[in-house]
Chain A
């Protein structure tokens, strides 16, 4: 396509936006409504996801060595553990260190126990392992249980599994909900445009008789759809960013749970704006181009 033709299509698409003003308002309205919902939902999902990731981050697995294992055996075990796939970190904690930790955790009474067990420490040497992903703990634990000198492997299996299934569901529901919203918007837009296209149908027929290719006719619709998407994403972006800023400023400090923290405003605002703009433009174009498709076959 020539540059001048591209300019012509852009001019034509913009003119159509103004020419079909009520249709533009209706379509832009559909995009706006959808994007407000998508924006709120997306903000929620992304933050939940972050929380889930924080929790996942904290999950770890403890491998207790057999009490009888000496230095050589421990080395061998460490060697074997470090060769495992999918592990992010591996830390050794000797039985003495374990005791210290225990004593510390128990506070005052701990002091007494500490001196009792100093000579005959009943605790195991332990390895702490973090997997790359929470899903991998199960298979890792199975592999490790088969190794020599391993007494016991423990990780909070139910926590991990609940967390994982919660995350999965949240994601599926989120994706399902957002897709449904988008499809509705596309449907609304293409229907709105179709209403005016009955009037434009004759125009399209004439254009074809004068020698216009389908693509030549389609391009202005493409531009028109993109513009409607841009127009339709302005208000949602304003609302989502404004709302999030308010929440972030007023509540982030007040939430005192370790894992719960809002995503930082700074990259988030830009990211969500771009996402909403992108989705808006996409459904605008899609709806617009869908509406013209049928009429090109004349």
Chain B
């Protein structure tokens, strides 16, 4: 369970990105986060795996206050969360295969299992044939799919996706959405920031709409849109 209590975030340069955000997300939920560019969606997401800490308020992940974690404990928090970053954050000098395998290497999974699992996930995102390529040799959409593969490869309890379909053609987008749907059906929480009206309106889920760092709407089976 994820709880944000009156979370505000002011970045070092004085920009306020979140303003009194109160949100609870239960295990197994599927949540879209929508809102105009700069509304604070990415900032909201970063609170959960502690890339950023709140300036005010608290974030609880399964009852543990994230800001109170010791430095040493942070890696363990992150291992339970698969994040698809808006800018992918792939290791540029490693192959597709190595990028995905990395998430399993850090948890010291056994090599044979790593191999099997990585190949199966790459197959799932349709990139098995490009396993040896490095990110620079891939299109934007392909890189995005590598990021997706890395995020889901260790079967995390929570998948956070920051515009995971931003660079994908509609066809591939729906494949990826199907993947999310499947992992959600098996009990994984999925949080997805998106600008895709089509997806939000066709695959009805909970919608959290943000504007200027505030949650302006929070509806189950909601529609796309953020005009107050």
Residues of A participating in the B interface, judged by any CB pair closer than 8 Å: 1-2, 4-5, 8, 19, 202-203, 206-213, 216
Contact = CB atoms under 8 A, between A and B. Distances in A.
Given A2-B108, A19-B93, A207 B78 contact: no
B108 A210 contact: no
A8 B79 CA distance: 19
Nearest to A213: B75
Contacts of B102: 207, 210, 212
Contacts of B74: 208
- In which size bucket is the chain B interface? 20 to 34
A2 B108 CA distance: 7
B49 interface: yes
Contacts of A209: 49, 51, 78, 83, 85, 89
B170 interface: no
Contacts of B75: 208, 211-213
A203 B110 contact: no
Find the residue from A4, A209, A211 having the highest chain B CB count within 10 A: A211
A191 B76 CA distance: 32
Contacts of B91: 203, 206-207
Given A4-B108, A208-B74, A210-B150, 12 more contacts: A4-B111, A5-B108, A8-B105, A19-B93, A206-B89, A208-B75, A208-B78, A209-B49, A209-B85, A210-B83, A211-B76, A211-B79
A50 B102 CA distance: 54
A2 B105 CA distance: 11
B68 to A, nearest CB: 19
A228 B79 CA distance: 32
Looking at B51, B85, B105, the one whose CB has the most chain A CB atoms below 10 A away is B105
Contacts, number: 50
Interface in B48-70: 49, 51
Contacts of B106: 207, 210-213, 216
Nearest to A205: B89
B92 interface: yes
A209 B88 CA distance: 12
B107 interface: yes
Nearest to B154: A211
14 contacts: A2-B108, A2-B110, A4-B110, A5-B105, A8-B105, A203-B93, A207-B91, A208-B74, A209-B49, A209-B89, A210-B106, A210-B150, A211-B79, A211-B106
A210 B93 contact: no
B133 to A, nearest CB: 16
Contact of A213 (B72, B83, B92, B111): B72
A203 B92 CA distance: 8
B177 to A, nearest CB: 23
Contacts of A2: 108, 110
B159 to A, nearest CB: 13
